[in-house]
Amino acid sequence: MASVTSLSDSVHQRLAAALSAALPQAGSADPLLRRSDRADFQANGILALAKKEKANPRELAAQVVSRVESGDVIKDIEVSGPGFLNITITDRAITETLAARYADDTGRLGVPHAERPGTTVIDYAQPNVAKEMHVGHLRSAVIGDSVTQLLEFTGESVVRRHHIGDWGTQFGMLIQYLEEHPHELDHKADEVSGEEAMSNLDRIYKAARKLFDADEEFKTRARRRVVDLQAGEPRTLAMWQKFVDESKIYFFSVFEKLDMEIRDPDIVGESGYNDMLAETCRLLEESGVAVRSEGALCVFFDDIKGPDGKPVPLIVQKSDGGYGYAATDLSAIRDRVFTIKANTLLYVVDARQSLHFKMVFETARRAGWLNEDVKAVQLAFGTVLGKDGKPFKTREGETVRLVDLLDEAIDRASAVVREKAQDLSEEEIAERGTQVGIGAVKYADLSTSANRDYKFDLDQMVSLNGDTSVYLQYAYARIQSILRKAGEARPVAHPELNLHEAERALGLHADSFAATVAEAAAEYAPHKMTAYLYQLASHYTTFYDKCPVLKAESPEQIENRLFLCDITARTLHRGMALLGIRTPERL
């Protein structure tokens, strides 16, 4: 793999070397390099260092300047203010660095792998069996998919786990209900599949829930059914399996609509840990991490108390012997740590489950399953809000079905594509409409930092102006159209050419893609990638306004500008792919 040293890393290395030559006792001090408006970069680290070593900051800065190796990369370096360094890069270095990225035929644009990649288990896209997916399931899927792409791009081994809700009391309830009302399934689910079957199942689920809450005797029968299920009674198990299979067909159809690859072996639902539950409880009880309290097996925490001031425990086993959500998650941790041998467990789950995860992680730490070498993190996300700023509901006050929402986004986007379409067939409009619509939904979700709520506003999402995926997709498609129009002229880097200010700004930004990938992956922060790409497209727009491409002054300049166009396009394409968003060649 041809990894390329970025300009900021080159400058950093040179400054660090000059700094330790000027002040050997400082060791490997950080010059604190930033992009700057005044020059290309500014180093702010000298002030603090001088203070620490009781030196004069401006003098120290001057010594660094005199020792810095300049010429090939650094064109100018000067002391400014109380002891900052302003650094300007040579045009040649910008073009040569980008040319090296362009030459990387692995499609990685010269982005290196992380120094010490590990294994991460990511728990995301975890809908519930026998229930329709709603808007709340969108974020886990979209954020999880992007973080997976980002991590894999840095060389991390990523194991996906879709922890679907496929076990527990509700299935006893559902199975018992259908045993007692067999006709409800007969003429429906056997003939239809996918969305329609799921909508029937969802309806039956709600009817069963109603009966369960209203009728004590039914409740008892349903509870007995759960025991049958957990004991593996064949008829009960077969019915359960039918729901799971039916639901999975539906999940796959929704994920496909989301343009997301979810693989069957990665779906390990709550039922997958059934065999570990008793052992998990035994380990926790024997080690004293969990204690019996009023018959239930509980873990207590000093800092977690209810409104009445009494401690709220994590219940690992209920007093009737049943296991719940916590026992499953604790068992999943054992599996992920000891069998999969992960170093990081990442959970992309709604912030409303934060207390659950806090207690589960702390329990696992006390049990020694998590420690300095194995960490668990909840990537908690906020709520999707309607235009009114309240949790997103239909006009009737019901939760919004994810499929309906995606279909609407596709419709809106198709209208936008149709309006702008010049030479697209109906079929192409439909295809692009899907890519633009799904992209818009994903981008809007990813561009807000995960922990914040955001408003689901389709008008804003499919807008051509502003921080939207459509804007980026059009930027990409426009570049492709220029490259097509170039005819004989090819993109070729010419490091000997002087660059326009707008070319330098675009080039420096394109070069910082590698740093953005590293940061977005390390912080599980896809919104840093969206912000980067939006800036890239903005730099490109300025460049395109200021610098004629096909009508440039010389054949070399035409080639070099086509090269800048092409590397911008490739960076947009790669970055959008890391967000799970397509970049159509024509729009």
CB of 348 to ligand ARG, least distance (A): 8
In the chain, the amino acid numbered 346 is L
Residue (128 or 473) nearer to ligand ARG, CB: 128
- Residue 52 burial (CB count, 10 A): 12
Residue (329 or 511) nearer to ligand ARG, CB: 329
3-state SS, residue 415: helix
Taking the C-alpha atoms of residue 296 and residue 326, their distance in angstroms, rounded to an integer, is 13
Which residues 6+ apart lie within 8 Å of 235 measured at CB? none
Residue (129 or 440) nearer to ligand ARG, CB: 129
The 3-state secondary structure of 170-211 reads: HHHHHHHHHHHCCHHHHHHHCCCCCHHHHHHHHHHHHHHHHH
CB of 514 to ligand ARG, least distance (A): 32
List residues bridging with 128 in a β-sheet. 165
Residue (332 or 562) nearer to ligand ARG, CB: 332
Helix spans in 127-272 (H): 136-153, 169-180, 183-189, 195-214, 216-231, 234-257
CB of 33 to ligand ARG, least distance (A): 40
CB of 300 to ligand ARG, least distance (A): 21
HSE, side-chain direction, 13 A CA sphere, residue 511: 25
CB of 123 to ligand ARG, least distance (A): 5
CB of 257 to ligand ARG, least distance (A): 18
Which residues 6+ apart lie within 8 Å of 355 measured at CB? 304
Token pair listed for 463:
């807008």
Residue (168 or 172) nearer to ligand ARG, CB: 168
Token pair listed for 345:
């467990």
In the chain, the amino acid numbered 454 is Y
Residue (336 or 442) nearer to ligand ARG, CB: 336
3-state SS, residue 126: coil
Token pair listed for 199:
């909508």
Residues engaged in binding ligand ARG (CB under 6 A): 123, 126, 128, 163, 165, 329, 332, 347, 349
CB of 483 to ligand ARG, least distance (A): 44
CB of 360 to ligand ARG, least distance (A): 8
Taking the C-alpha atoms of residue 266 and residue 255, their distance in angstroms, rounded to an integer, is 14
CB of 231 to ligand ARG, least distance (A): 24
In the chain, the amino acid numbered 65 is V
Residue (60 or 135) nearer to ligand ARG, CB: 135
Token pair listed for 96:
């040569």
CB of 145 to ligand ARG, least distance (A): 15
Taking the C-alpha atoms of residue 151 and residue 113, their distance in angstroms, rounded to an integer, is 10
Residue (31 or 165) nearer to ligand ARG, CB: 165
Rounded to the nearest 5 degrees, what angle is found at the Cα of 23, between the Cα atoms of 20 and 24? Answer: 65
Which residues 6+ apart lie within 8 Å of 22 measured at CB? 60, 63, 64, 67
Residue (101 or 137) nearer to ligand ARG, CB: 137
Residue (108 or 139) nearer to ligand ARG, CB: 139
